């Protein structure tokens, strides 16, 4: 179980990093980005419903990966 949590944390980090890299249409990054989004979105979406993105000027900061990260660390510590 801890190995799965660690793997998900790794996938979550990749998803966050890929979110900062613009993937032009037709790029090799598009399917990779979609793959990591498909894996993490079912976990992030419910958190996003409870905690909406934080508005900072004209941008919004998505706090859901940070919240999920903290929850996984807590669960991992309890196991």
Nearest to 63 by CA among 78, 48, 42: 48
Query: CA nearest 15: which of 29, 1, 2, 4?
Result: 29
Q: How far is CA 19 from the centre of its chain?
A: 9
Contact call for residues 76 and 5 (beta carbons, < 8 A):
yes
The tens digit of pLDDT for each residue in 14-63 reads 999 999 998 888 898 999 999 999 999 999 999 999 999 999 888 899 99
Domain with 20 in it: 2-78
Neighbours of 2 (CB within 10 A): 10
pTM of the model: 0.87
Number of domains forming the structure of the chain: 1
């Amino acid at each position: 179980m801890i190995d799965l949590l660690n793997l998900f944390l790794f996938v979550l980090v990749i998803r966050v990093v890929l979110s900062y890299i613009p993937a032009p249409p037709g790029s090799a990054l598009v399917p990779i980005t979609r793959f990591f989004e498909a894996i993490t979105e079912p976990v992030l979406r419910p958190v996003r419903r409870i905690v909406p993105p934080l508005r900072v000027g004209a941008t919004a900061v998505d706090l859901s990966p940070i919240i999920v990260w903290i929850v996984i660390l807590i669960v991992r510590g309890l196991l």
